[in-house]
Chain A
Amino acid sequence: MRDLSTNEIDIRSHLTSYPRFLGRSLWLATEGSLGFYAWMTMLTALFLVGTNAWAHQVAGGMISTNMTDQVSWGLYIANFTFMVGLAAGGVMMVIPAYLYHDRKMHDVVIIGELLAVAAIVMCLMFVVADLGRPDRFWHLIPGIGKFNFPLSMLTWDVIVLNGYLLINLHICGYLLYTRFLGRTPNPIWYLPFVMLSIGWAISIHTVTAFLYCGLGGRPFWNSALLAPRFLASAFVSGPAFIIVTLLLMRRLTHVTGLDSPIATLTKIIRVTILINLLMVASELFTEFYTGGSHASAAKYLFFGIHGKTALVPWTWTAIVLNVAATGLFLWKGVLRENRRLLLAIACAMAFTGTWIEKGMGLIIPGFIPSTLHEIVEYVPSQLEWKVTIGIWAAGLMVFTIAIKAALPTLNDGRFQSMDQVA
């Protein structure tokens, strides 16, 4: 412990060094190869297309979406739900790194935390895109607006999502800043937050499931299995996305020591993908063996009702992708050095399968049949796709920039010194 006067000097030096740190991070994040600039230009272009589409939606009303009073949530909320899972999935790097002291995972754990930041940013963008009156967003701010806490699960979601964003921003920001200062991170300033983030990651997806499963009028969602299912699929999609990121970093950067984290994450998916399939099977059995009107949403989802089959191709694509990905993951060959492409394909299949299953495959059948048993179908409009792609582009931009800024800390072994304190 140093005396007070040294601390004062320390604070004053932060006032000058922190802006320098931000400037340096921004500089690093915008340095790269021609391929990097092409990638960022493409994402910017897509983001602008999405921005323009959203601006038209705000100006002309949500009539330009294909949502209706029967199917009142669509592609935006489907993606929102999936992205909450991706944000929570990053914790599958944090747990091995900090609870099981996996050195190699510890060296790159910041990737999982940065993914959480990017995914939450996307979540917030999807929610705003879905609001009929984004100009009244301030009504949701506690203290200024009227925050219906604790009754509305949506207010819980506002708290846990923003809290998770802040926790991860703090952890990443602190570690990168101390690295910039050339100091050893002080565990007091980040370890408690890392431990908090593990529990918090579970909470964001649990609360998001409670948004749906607490509604008695929607039998398809009104299942106690929903929150565990959300978590299981999050721990498939999150690690799958991170594995692909690590595989790309292996090719495109000089970061070493990525094979061990890749192997660990693959082993995690081997377990979680099976749990997820088991839960889906359990839901299907309950629905179809029981039958009756309780099962009509599931009937619509898998086979269509009264010739209305808009979701059927989506569902079966998800099933095929998930089952095939499970097969690939369980095969030991998927981990071989010379089969990296196969691993990437398995991850992409699991990721896409989960995106459908927990996105369109979960949200839309909640509304079909409607509460008065009307069958009104929903297919996203072109505008909805543009906004959605724009938000994905924005999220990938945030993720790319964050990884870029963090690369110097991954390139050398300095982070390993933190292992002793953890």
Chain B
Amino acid sequence: MQPTTDSPANRSLPVIENVTRRAVVKGAFATLGAAAFVAAASPIRNAAKSTTADEFLQQHYQELSVADKRAVIARLEAETKQKYGADVEIGDDRPIPGTKFVYAINLSVCNGNGKCVEACHKENNHDRSTHQSYIRVIEMPKGTLDMEQGSTTYTGTVPKDDKFYLPVQCQQCDEPPCVDVCPVQATWKEADGIVVVDYNWCIGCRYCEAACPYHARRFNWKQPEIPAEEINPNQSYLSNRIRPAGVVEKCTYCLHRTRRGQLPACLEACPTGARVFGNILDESSNIRWILENKRVYILKEELGTKPAFFYYFD
């Protein structure tokens, strides 16, 4: 590694007198370019204004202390008041020990009326303009379970004689592919089986949306718009609080209700009684009896996702 005769001193910058003018011109254009860049990026400044330092620096939900959580929730409630003009109460509902929630739908009874879709839309404070909901109902021809034959955009009076109806929402899988793929652990499975998202930790890469085989996840393509009087004030941090733009959300089995001993909104809204919800660990529960005695099947069993969501026929 000996320096050659062509020493660094001889090879450095050209003599400065010859280049002063060029250097000034280059510097001027570099400054102009930088200024143009700042101008071009200026819309970001508006977005940055609505993000506080506290929000930016907020830690992952599972890292927050009780005091941290209290502060975060107070901030979120204040923000909802300021942005939406609504007084809401955001809880931090934790799983009930000895509980594993499962859902079942009786496909012989469901008639595709879509009340569950509508109830979900209202209960979970979904964006009004996009008619968002965690539930999609597929109208299927009788005689097949192949979803390719179905339609999610059916119209007209239901039920039709030659059709049956298949509501699909998050299956709260025991082997959730969406949780595995998340690069920042913004989504995880809780002790009662519910897969949740920390909306303040999600980076919005949407890998989970690609990974989910049940189209259970939704992305907030914009800040949700809801009139103040329509906002459901009974909220929970991991559930139906109004989500920020640019993050992924999903069905939580209405944990802000079910962890408080109530039933999911979609079940309460169902006029046919097709929906059954409960704790599978409770041997005397209705859901347990159905799973033990009915002809039950799960969606896309071959993928090995082990759903906690069952379909059955009478």
Contacts and interface: CB of A to CB of B under 8 A. Distances in A.
Interface stretch (A58-66, A274-282, A332-340): A58-66
A52 B204 CA distance: 20
What 7 pairs across the A-B complex have the smallest Cβ distances? Answer: A132-B204, A217-B213, A132-B246, A61-B222, A154-B183, A55-B43, A63-B222
B247 A133 contact: yes
A147 B304 CA distance: 25
B221 A61 contact: yes
B40 A374 contact: no
A211 B40 CA distance: 33
Contact of B41 (A55, A72, A186): A55
Contacts, number: 201
Nearest to A146: B185
Contact of B43 (A56, A145, A218): A56
Contacts of A370: 215
Contacts of B44: 55, 58-59
A51 interface: yes
Would you call the interface of chain B mostly helix, strand, loop, or mixed?
A: loop
A73 B147 CA distance: 22
A69 B218 contact: yes
A409 interface: no
Interface of A: 2, 13, 17, 20, 23-24, 27, 30, 44, 48-49, 51-52, 54-56, 58-63, 65, 67-70, 72-73, 127, 130-137, 139-140, 145-148, 151-155, 158, 180-184, 186, 211-212, 215-218, 293, 296, 366-367, 369-374
B206 A146 contact: no
B293 interface: no
A134 B47 CA distance: 11
A133 B203 contact: yes
A153 B181 contact: yes
B21 to A, nearest CB: 13
A218 to B, nearest CB: 7
30 contacts: A20-B12, A27-B13, A44-B36, A52-B41, A55-B42, A55-B44, A58-B43, A59-B47, A61-B223, A62-B221, A62-B246, A68-B221, A69-B218, A72-B210, A73-B206, A130-B205, A135-B48, A136-B202, A139-B203, A146-B201, A148-B184, A148-B185, A152-B182, A154-B183, A155-B183, A158-B183, A181-B11, A182-B8, A217-B300, A373-B150
B13 A131 contact: no
A23 B13 contact: yes
A52 B177 CA distance: 36
A211 B182 CA distance: 11
A230 to B, nearest CB: 17
Nearest to B181: A152
A181 B3 contact: yes
Contacts of B217: 69
Contacts of B26: 30
A217 B212 contact: yes
B283 interface: no
B207 interface: yes
Contact of A152 (B42, B183, B218): B183
Given A183-B1, A216-B303, A293-B146, A70 B219 contact: no
A147 B153 CA distance: 39
Contacts of B209: 69, 72
Interface string B1-26: 11110111001111000010000001
B269 interface: no
B180 interface: yes
A130 to B, nearest CB: 7
B33 interface: yes
B218 to A, nearest CB: 5
Given A183-B4, A217-B211, A372-B136, A131 B43 contact: no
B104 interface: no
A89 B36 CA distance: 34
Contact of B8 (A62, A154, A181, A296): A181
A154 B1 CA distance: 41
B6 A152 contact: no
A217 B214 CA distance: 8
A369 B149 CA distance: 12
A132 B247 contact: yes
Contacts of A44: 33, 36
B65 interface: no
A416 to B, nearest CB: 15
A69 B219 contact: yes
B168 interface: yes
A133 B33 CA distance: 26
Contacts of B54: none
Given A58-B44, A59-B46, A218 B215 contact: no
A183 B221 contact: no
B228 interface: no
Contact of B222 (A13, A60, A372): A60
B215 A371 contact: yes
Contacts of A148: 182-185
Q: Which of A58, A152, A369 has the most CB of B within 10 A?
A: A152
B219 A72 contact: yes
Contact of B246 (A27, A61, A180, A296): A61
Given A58-B47, A139-B184, A183-B1, A372 B201 contact: no
B162 interface: no
B99 interface: no
A373 B147 contact: yes
A24 B13 contact: yes
Contacts of B47: 58-59
A48 B40 contact: yes
A216 B203 contact: no
Contacts of B255: none
B152 interface: yes
A166 B53 CA distance: 31
Contacts of B248: 132
B40 A216 contact: no
